[in-house]
Structure 1
Amino acid sequence: MKKWLSVTLTIVIFLTVTACGNNKSTPDAAGQDKEASEPETITVGLVNGIPKISVLDESGKWTGYDYETLVKIDDLLPQYVFKYEPITDFQAAFVGLDTKSFDILAVHASWTEERAAKYLYGEASNYENSGYTLKVKKGSGIVVKSEEDLGGLKIALAPGAAVAGDVEKYNEQHPDRKIEVVWDTGTVEQQLANLKSGAIDALFGEPLNDKALLEAYGADAFDIAGSHLFYDAGKKNGTYLLFNYGSEPLQKDIDEAINHLLKDGTLSNLSKEILGIDVTVKPD
């Protein structure tokens, strides 16, 4: 789960923004365009506030890789038109899906067994998680080659973060050399200050967030001591759209569109253009 989502924020405003492509048309049998039948409006609860992933600015304009992915999906599906509701509280976002205020929840959600029991996951992902990195104090000399090297480290975790479950399982399996968990709901600035002061040894991250933080805070902000931590190639490792059970036709249409955009390289190019890295590629 992304660390930008770990900070609980208050929903301050809900704005509706309709994606481009309302005047969609489809070719008739002779190959001529004709006005499509009235498309079905699909309400998307879209996370707001993850830099370069999805952000709604003060003028009401959306930007970011996840948003642009949704626009391209919408362009491929003339039977639907997407409208967007900004989400700034990750936990409260699921209430919108529960109450059917949203047809789709796009909160950059990773797969968990608990969520899959309650919500219908899309099968296709536009963002392939590659496991977690480990941020440590600049010059600390800490090197983590695998999860086995995490024991004894004091690592800050946000309550509810997906990696917290992995850490709990690790500690159950390593009772004699546990990770020392420091529960932390502070800001990014506070977390990096704690890392620099030695109050904690490490923070989990992921490549995109690490890149953004180093750009924002400078190359001396931290070192990367390890990567691909808690990655299991046999599991679902992407971030996925969520639906209510009963929305299988919509889910299948969107999965087909995502797979098309992955196959033709559209999302790879979009990722490199917006994020500076290709997040559609699975780790070796």
Structure 2
Amino acid sequence: MEKWKKAVFIVMIILVAGSLAGCNKETEESKEGGDTPTKDNPKVVEIAILDGMAPYTYQDENGDFQGYDYKFLEKCDELLEEYEFHYNAVDPDAGAAAVQAGTYALSCSAHFVTPAREENFLLSIPQSYYPVNLISRTEDSFTKFEDLDGQVVVPNPPNDGLYVVLYKMAEEFPNVKFSQEEVSEYVSYYDSCKGVANGTWDVWFGGKSMYDDIIAQEPMDLFCSDPVYCADCVVVINKEYEDLRDKLNECIVTLYQDGTLSELSKEWLGMDCFQVAEETGALYDYDSYKK
């Protein structure tokens, strides 16, 4: 009798353990977003499209999404048949918090690599590059970082990639003393150019692609230098989407190797940013990519 009771007890333990394992598996699947996505049962991925960030991400006069990063995501969506991307217009100041909270799976809009992003998100390999230029009044025509000495720079919030690059370069040039107002929100590309033109600030530590887009719509008496730095741009991804991050990395390698990214860059950024990255020694080694 005792042996029989013991056997029943062991069976019950096994059944309970199996049940708990099943619960844990179900919980883990829920955390990852359900069953493994397939072509026939694709997983819908909510994506934050930061508005007003032309030529990277923005809405045109018809309310349609446009820009380099949006078109890049469309190409990835075509390659990833097991996923279905759904795009949402989001204010740039709200994008990071919404992705971190899980409201959206990812954001892609000329995002630099920063310590905060490395800590709080998964990051893709570079899917574009941001040549940093000095935009100043024509009468000044700044061409190098040392020209910032004594100047007032368009403000950037501390969580902005340009802010990180600016102060990284400042460490390399400790004798260059510039001033920059502390802000918590982004100054738009247009307001940056306009503010430099009207004398509110002396220089915008920004990008030629945005500058060209603005000047084409409203000419201003400004000068844009050659690149003084070339920064990696990455997809910023919620930490629960590791598999998607890996898939996106594979897409980036494919789209780089077949020339798609260079063509998108020429079309939307007015240059091949991958060539600029290669010329400045910033190009990622896509041919050697491994998970």
Say if 2:156 and 2:162, in contact at 8 Å, map to a contact too: no
Residue-by-residue CA offset, 1:211-256 (whole Å, 9 max, x unaligned):
11221222x52012x333244xxxxx32211122242211111110
What's the counterpart of residue 39 of structure 1?
Answer: 42
Determine which of 108, 111, 126 is the counterpart of 1:106: 108
CA RMSD of aligned residues (A): 2.7
More helix by share: 2
Say if 2:129 and 2:273, in contact at 8 Å, map to a contact too: yes
1:179-218 aligned within 5 A: 179-182=178-181, 191-218=192-219
1:222-237 aligned within 5 A: 222-224=222-224, 226-231=225-230, 237=231
For the residues of structure 1 that align with 2:113 and 2:170, how far apart are their CA atoms? 21
Deviation, structure 1 residue 117: 1.0
Report the CA distance shift for 1:193/1:48 in structure 2 as closer, same or farther (over 3 A): closer
For the residues of structure 1 that align with 2:77 and 2:190, how far apart are their CA atoms? 37
- Supply the AA of the counterpart residue of 2:162: V
Say if 2:153 and 2:179, in contact at 8 Å, map to a contact too: yes
For the residues of structure 2 that align with 1:257 and 1:75, how far apart are their CA atoms? 10
What's the counterpart of residue 165 of structure 1?
Answer: 164
Q: How many residues align?
A: 238
* SS of aligned partner of 1:96: helix
For the residues of structure 1 that align with 2:51 and 2:262, how far apart are their CA atoms? 22
Deviation, structure 1 residue 121: 0.4
For the residues of structure 2 that align with 1:55 and 1:200, how far apart are their CA atoms? 25
1:153 has 2:135 as partner:
no
Deviation, structure 1 residue 209: 1.1
Instruction: Provide runs of 4+ in structure 1 moved above 6 Å.
Output: none
Report the CA distance shift for 1:170/1:82 in structure 2 as closer, same or farther (over 3 A): closer
- Supply the AA of the counterpart residue of 2:77: D
What's the counterpart of residue 177 of structure 2?
Answer: 178
1:51-66 aligned within 5 A: 51-57=54-60, 59-66=62-69
For the residues of structure 2 that align with 1:199 and 1:155, how far apart are their CA atoms? 9
Say if 2:55 and 2:213, in contact at 8 Å, map to a contact too: no
Report the CA distance shift for 1:165/1:57 in structure 2 as closer, same or farther (over 3 A): closer
Deviation, structure 1 residue 262: 1.0
Determine which of 232, 239, 261 is the counterpart of 2:233: 239
1:93 has 2:95 as partner:
yes
* SS of aligned partner of 2:72: helix
Say if 1:136 and 1:202, in contact at 8 Å, map to a contact too: yes
What's the counterpart of residue 144 of structure 1?
Answer: 143
Report the CA distance shift for 1:36/1:191 in structure 2 as closer, same or farther (over 3 A): closer
TM-score by length of 2: 0.71
Residue-by-residue CA offset, 1:142-184 (whole Å, 9 max, x unaligned):
4433x23322222222333433334445556666541122457
Say if 1:124 and 1:259, in contact at 8 Å, map to a contact too: no
Which piece of structure 1 moves more, 172-181 or 66-75? 172-181
Q: Give aligned-pair identity as a percent.
A: 23
Give unpaired runs (5+ residues) of structure 2: 1-37, 280-291
Say if 2:193 and 2:211, in contact at 8 Å, map to a contact too: no
Deviation, structure 1 residue 111: 0.5
* SS of aligned partner of 1:123: coil
Deviation, structure 1 residue 280: 3.0
Report the CA distance shift for 1:167/1:239 in structure 2 as closer, same or farther (over 3 A): closer
- Supply the AA of the counterpart residue of 1:102: Y
What's the counterpart of residue 255 of structure 1?
Answer: 249
Determine which of 253, 265, 283 is the counterpart of 1:271: 265
Say if 2:121 and 2:236, in contact at 8 Å, map to a contact too: yes
Say if 2:56 and 2:109, in contact at 8 Å, map to a contact too: no
For the residues of structure 2 that align with 1:106 and 1:271, how far apart are their CA atoms? 15
